[in-house]
Amino acid sequence: MNKNIVILISGRGSNMEAIVRSAIPGAHIAAVIANRPDAAGLDFANRHGIATAVVDHKAYANRETFDAALAEAIDTHAPHLVVLAGFMRVLTARFVAHYTGRLINIHPSLLPAFPGLHTHARALESGVKLHGASVHFVTADLDCGPIIIQAAVPVRDDDDEQSLAARVLAQEHRIYPQTVRWFVDDRVVLVDGRARVTNGQSGAEGWTVPLTEADSP
Ligand code: GRF
Residue 57: give its domain's CATH number: 3.40.50.170
Same domain, residue pair 114 and 206: yes
β 130-137/147-154 pair status: antiparallel
In tens, the pLDDT along 11-64 reads 999 999 999 999 999 999 999 999 999 999 999 999 999 999 999 999 999 999
Decide if pLDDT at 211 tops 70: no
Cα–ligand 1 centroid distance for 215 (angstroms): 22
Show Cβ contacts of residue 163 under 8 Å, excluding neighbours closer than 6 positions: 156
Q: In terms of domains, do 38 and 55 share one? A: yes
Same domain, 94 and 117: no
* Residues 6 and 80 grouped into a single domain: yes
pLDDT of amino acid 179: 97
Ligand 1 centroid to Cα of residue 108, in Å, is 7
Query: Does residue 89 line the site of ligand 1, with CB under 6 A?
Result: no
pLDDT band at 177 (very low <50, low <70, confident <90, very high): very high
Q: What's the predicted TM-score (pTM) here?
A: 0.93
Q: Are 87 and 125 part of one and the same domain? A: no
How many distinct structural domains can be found in the chain? 2
Ligand 1 atom 7: residue of nearest CA: 86
pLDDT tens readout for residues 76-135: 999 999 999 999 999 999 999 999 999 999 999 999 999 999 999 999 999 999 999 999
**Phi and psi of 146, rounded to 5°?**
-55, 130
Query: Which residue, of 72, 99, 126, is where some domain finishes?
Result: 99
pLDDT at residue 200 in the model = 65
Catalytic residues: 107
> Are both 111 and 93 inside the same structural domain?
no
**Residue 209 above 90 pLDDT?**
no
pLDDT of residue 212: 52
Kindly state if the Cβ of 24 falls inside 6 Å of ligand 1.
no
Residue 1 has what pLDDT?
A: 87
| Closest ligand 1 atom to 9 CA | 12
Which structural domain range is residue 159 located in?
A: 106-217
Q: What does the pLDDT read at residue 35? A: 98
Element (H, E) at 184: helix 161-184
Cross-strand partners of 149: 135
Is the pLDDT reported for residue 210 higher than 60?
no
More confident residue, 129 or 192: 129
3-state helix, strand, coil in the chain (%, to 5): 30, 25, 40
